[in-house]
């Protein structure tokens, strides 16, 4: 058993044992139960705030929806606990998806505003639908039976703790699967995530709905814990408290959510005692002074990040002397603590602890499996007789600028097809339209004879188009191996619930060995465990090619793969291209290095002004008068019939 599992099992066993000692203390039991309930809500909130990196101000509303759903199921329909909680989860899932569908098309502040508005709308509805919810008067209920059992306070606590443990394991499984990896990937590069056929939008909506359902479950438990509900209990303040729990505890961490729950339950109690408050303030002040002193010694200056916590905790110490009633200033104290933590420990308490543990004991690294056989990963593509890619009459415009004016292009089976042209001739637009990044104004793209749906990177990728990017779009925080695993869509077949149940390990092992095979193909076998951000530039380009190959493309589009490469790296690139040709994968290659084009390409299409001006073998193209004119311009005197663009040689 791993150390992690021992720690987790130990903690839960300890938590479960507590009622045996303090079972008679109703107040203590109440706090403990609340910790488990908040931990569930915070784990759900952390999905959006931590893993998706979006500030979500709606979790309190989902708690409210869950609380009222299960409360009404009990009072109105007479359901018992298990179905009532299930109803809460369903309501959370549905409402979460309902909000996520429009809101997740937004980013940053707009998303936060959308969730905030949803939250206010929920509170208004609960207040105003008096006939159903009893409005502001509140809803009283009696804790229902669980499978025919009447629960004691300790029994209810164990129920909550059991649910928390189950969810904990489920989330752990989910986050260590390809789902967790895609969350990481879509924060680093949403475009590349879409381009490998993993829909950013789909993942976000699913993740948000999941997080919301956890909030609703916590709400259901909350209803059975307090047995009295009021809409105003789930207002803005509650939402701020939840958000603070996640941030204080530490984002992107189950332990962080747990610690956050402990903190938000205990802090108000701790702060109501003056000596405890003064001790916390003094310790915080000293700690931030020490941290600031350290930075002063190391950097010779004091950045905002060092000063702000000192000022905030200093204000708390000062407040301890000046303020008569701490209770009146509770929100301000909360704000100061938060401010100090958010600035001083941006990764939260667990983020800091986790980093320290890794520094002390070193991170774990799983041993690599042997690479899979390449033929299994990247099967040879037989020629079905159909033309892999046929583009006809494709046009695209940006406002008044016509970037593509009726492009026709054909890529034959197993060929490397060069796409060249002066700057601004429409090469990049062409592949951006083919790969679905831009919608076409008119025209048709056929892949293996089937019409490609336009305007969606994800759908084009799922149809079989894989691409690289001129400006690299790697998942910088993931390792080289993980970068490729994100794109191995064909390996991952299990639905989400089964992954949460822990059945995804087999797929994971297959993915690792297949990814390693692809890394070996591009010569990066030794870099598997290195973070993409730490790879040298040339190597990053090769990693992108390997990631595109992981999609098992029917057509591979390479956008200037040699840009910025040193000449030894260019030799490596040519080697990789030869190996791709051996697998008979059709390729469109945009490239400005004419020697590479001449060496690799079977045929070349030349664009100018958004139109094809020539197609043929590299040798034919080199001597084509229109091509020469497009690149070098016309000599005065033979201007007639010249190209309209002021083309420059690349």
Partner 1 sequence: MQWMIIGQMAVSGAAMGFVYALVAYGFQMTYATSKSINFGQGELVMVSAFISLSVADMGLPYGVVVPVGLLSGALLGLFVERVAVRFALVQKTEGWILMTIIVGLFAVSAAENIWGKDERPFPTPISREALDIGGGISVTPVELSVALGVILVMVLVEIFRRWTLLGKAVDAVSADRDAAELMGISATNAIAISYALSGAVAALAGILVAPITSVGPTMASALILKAFSVAVVAGLQSGSGVALVGISLGVLESLASFYLGSGWRETPGLVLLILALALKPNGIFGTATIRKV
Is residue 85 within a helix (H) or strand (E), and if so which, with residue range? Answer: helix 81-103
* Residue 191 or 533 having the CB closest to partner 1: 191
Query: Does 255 contact partner 1 by CB under 8 A?
Result: no
Residue 421, token pair as written in the block: 């042209």
> Of the listed pieces 328-336, 483-491, 532-540, 596-604, which binds partner 1 according to CB under 8 A?
328-336
* Residue 55 or 594 having the CB closest to partner 1: 55
> Of the listed pieces 277-285, 332-340, 400-408, 567-575, which binds partner 1 according to CB under 8 A?
332-340
* Residue 244 or 409 having the CB closest to partner 1: 244
Considering only residues 66-105, where is the footprint of partner 1 by CB under 8 A?
101-103, 105
Query: Does 397 contact partner 1 by CB under 8 A?
Result: no
Q: Are 204 and 49 in contact (CB under 8 A)?
A: no
Query: Does 243 contact partner 1 by CB under 8 A?
Result: yes
Query: Does 409 contact partner 1 by CB under 8 A?
Result: no
Q: Are 425 and 477 in contact (CB under 8 A)?
A: no
Instruction: Kindly give the residue spans of alpha helices, DSSP state H, lying in 196-253.
Output: 200-226, 236-249
Length of the chain: 650
Distance in Å, CB of 398 to partner 1, minimum: 7
> DSSP characters for 152-203?
PHHHHHHHHHHHHHHHHHHHHHHHTSHHHHHHHHHHH-HHHHHHTT--HHHH
C-alpha distances in Å from residue 521, one per residue of 470, 510, 582: 21, 17, 12
**Nearest alpha-carbon partner for 550 in 586, 579, 511:** 511
> Of the listed pieces 71-79, 208-216, 301-309, 562-570, which binds partner 1 according to CB under 8 A?
301-309
* Residue 312 or 621 having the CB closest to partner 1: 312
Among 5, 13, 76, 128, interactor with partner 1 by CB under 8 A: 128
Query: x/- string (CB under 8 A) for partner 1, residues 340-379?
Result: --xx--x---------------------------------
Backbone phi, psi, residue 226, to 5°: -90, -25
Please list the residues that pair with 606 across neighbouring strands: 420, 614
> Of the listed pieces 140-148, 330-338, 510-518, 528-536, which binds partner 1 according to CB under 8 A?
330-338
Query: Does 308 contact partner 1 by CB under 8 A?
Result: yes
The alpha carbon torsion through 128, 130, 133, 134 (nearest 10 deg) reads: 120
Distance from C-alpha of 501 to C-alpha of 130, rounded to nearest angstrom: 40
The count of C-alpha atoms lying within 13 angstroms of the C-alpha of 288, restricted to the half-sphere facing its C-beta, is: 30
Distance in Å, CB of 328 to partner 1, minimum: 6
Among 11, 80, 176, 305, interactor with partner 1 by CB under 8 A: 305
Query: Does 127 contact partner 1 by CB under 8 A?
Result: yes
* Residue 190 or 502 having the CB closest to partner 1: 190
The 389-398 sheet, strands edge to edge: 401-411, 389-398, 442-447, 450-451
Distance from C-alpha of 312 to C-alpha of 309, rounded to nearest angstrom: 5
CB atoms < 10 A from the CB of 18, how many?
A: 15
Question: Count of H helices and E strands in the chain?
Answer: 27, 12
**Which residue reads 């084509």 in tokens?**
624
Query: x/- string (CB under 8 A) for partner 1, residues 177-216?
Result: --------------x-------------------------
* Residue 4 or 331 having the CB closest to partner 1: 331
Please list the residues that pair with 481 across neighbouring strands: none
**At 602, is the secondary structure helix, strand, or coil?**
coil
Query: Does 438 contact partner 1 by CB under 8 A?
Result: yes
Query: Does 277 contact partner 1 by CB under 8 A?
Result: no
> Of the listed pieces 107-115, 262-270, 384-392, 612-620, which binds partner 1 according to CB under 8 A?
107-115
Among 437, 532, 557, 606, interactor with partner 1 by CB under 8 A: 437
Q: Which residues here bind partner 1, judged by CB under 8 A? A: 53-55, 101-103, 105-106, 108-110, 112-114, 116-118, 120-121, 124, 127-128, 191, 236, 240, 243, 247, 304-305, 308, 328-332, 334-336, 338-339, 342-343, 346, 398, 432, 437-438, 469-471, 473
């Amino acid at each position: 058993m791993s150390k992690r599992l021992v720690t987790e099992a130990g903690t839960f066993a300890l938590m479960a044992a507590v009622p045996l000692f303090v079972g008679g203390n109703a107040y203590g039991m109440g706090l403990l139960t609340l910790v488990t309930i908040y931990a569930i809500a915070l784990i759900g909130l952390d999905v959006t705030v931590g893993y998706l990196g979006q500030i979500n101000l709606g979790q309190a509303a989902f708690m409210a929806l869950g609380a009222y759903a299960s409360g009404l199921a009990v009072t109105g329909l007479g359901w018992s606990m298990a179905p009532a909680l299930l109803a809460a989860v369903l309501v959370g899932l549905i409402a979460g998806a309902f909000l996520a569908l429009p809101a997740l098309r937004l980013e940053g502040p707009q998303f936060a505003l959308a969730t905030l508005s949803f939250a206010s709308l929920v509170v208004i509805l609960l207040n105003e639908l008096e006939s159903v919810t009893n409005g502001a008067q509140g809803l009283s209920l009696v804790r229902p039976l669980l499978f025919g059992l009447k629960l004691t306070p300790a029994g209810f606590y164990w129920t909550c703790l059991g649910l928390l443990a189950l969810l904990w394991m489920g989330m752990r499984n989910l986050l260590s699967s390809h789902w967790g990896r895609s969350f990481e990937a879509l924060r680093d590069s949403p475009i590349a995530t879409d381009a490998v056929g993993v829909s950013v939008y789909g993942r976000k909506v699913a993740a948000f709905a999941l997080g919301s359902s956890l909030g609703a479950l916590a709400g259901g438990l909350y209803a059975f814990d307090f047995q009295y509900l009021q809409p105003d209990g789930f207002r803005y303040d509650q939402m701020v408290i939840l958000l603070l729990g996640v941030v204080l505890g530490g984002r992107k961490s189950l332990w962080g959510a747990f610690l956050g729950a402990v903190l938000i339950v205990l802090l108000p109690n701790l702060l109501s005692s003056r000596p405890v408050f003064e001790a916390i303030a003094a310790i915080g002040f000293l700690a931030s002074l020490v941290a600031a002193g350290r930075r002063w010694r190391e950097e010779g200056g004091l950045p905002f990040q060092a000063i702000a916590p000192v000022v905030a905790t200093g204000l708390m110490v000062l407040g301890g002397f000046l303020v008569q009633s701490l209770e009146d200033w509770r929100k301000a104290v909360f704000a100061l603590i938060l401010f100090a933590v958010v600035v001083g420990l941006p990764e939260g308490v667990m983020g800091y602890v986790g980093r320290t543990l890794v520094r002390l004991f070193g991170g774990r690294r799983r041993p690599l499996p042997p690479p899979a056989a390449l033929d299994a990963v990247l099967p040879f593509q037989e020629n079905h007789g159909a033309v892999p890619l046929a583009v006809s009459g494709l046009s695209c415009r940006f406002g008044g600028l016509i970037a593509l004016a009726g492009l026709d292009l054909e890529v034959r089976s197993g060929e490397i097809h060069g796409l060249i042209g002066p700057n601004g001739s429409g090469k990049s637009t062409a592949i951006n339209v083919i790969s679905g990044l831009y919608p076409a104004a008119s025209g048709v793209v056929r892949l293996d004879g089937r019409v490609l749906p336009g305007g969606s990177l994800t759908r084009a990728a799922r149809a079989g188009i894989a691409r690289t990017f001129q400006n690299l779009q790697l998942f910088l925080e993931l390792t080289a191996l993980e970068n490729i695993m994100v794109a191995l869509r064909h390996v991952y077949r299990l639905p989400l619930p089964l992954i949460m149940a822990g059945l995804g390990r087999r797929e994971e092992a297959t993915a690792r060995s297949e990814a390693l095979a692809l890394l070996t193909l591009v010569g990066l076998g030794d870099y598997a465990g290195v973070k993409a951000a730490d790879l040298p530039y040339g190597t990053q380009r090769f990693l992108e090619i390997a990631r595109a190959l992981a999609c098992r493309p029917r057509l591979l589009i390479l956008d200037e793969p040699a840009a910025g490469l040193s000449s030894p790296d260019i030799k490596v690139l040519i080697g990789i291209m030869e190996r791709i040709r051996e697998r008979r994968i059709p390729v469109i290659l945009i490239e400005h290095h004419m020697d590479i084009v001449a060496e690799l390409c079977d045929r070349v299409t030349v664009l100018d002004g958004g139109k094809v001006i020539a197609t043929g073998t590299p040798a034919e193209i080199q001597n084509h008068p229109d091509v020469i004119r497009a690149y070098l311009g016309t000599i005065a005197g033979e201007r007639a019939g010249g190209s309209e663009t002021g083309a420059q040689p690349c």
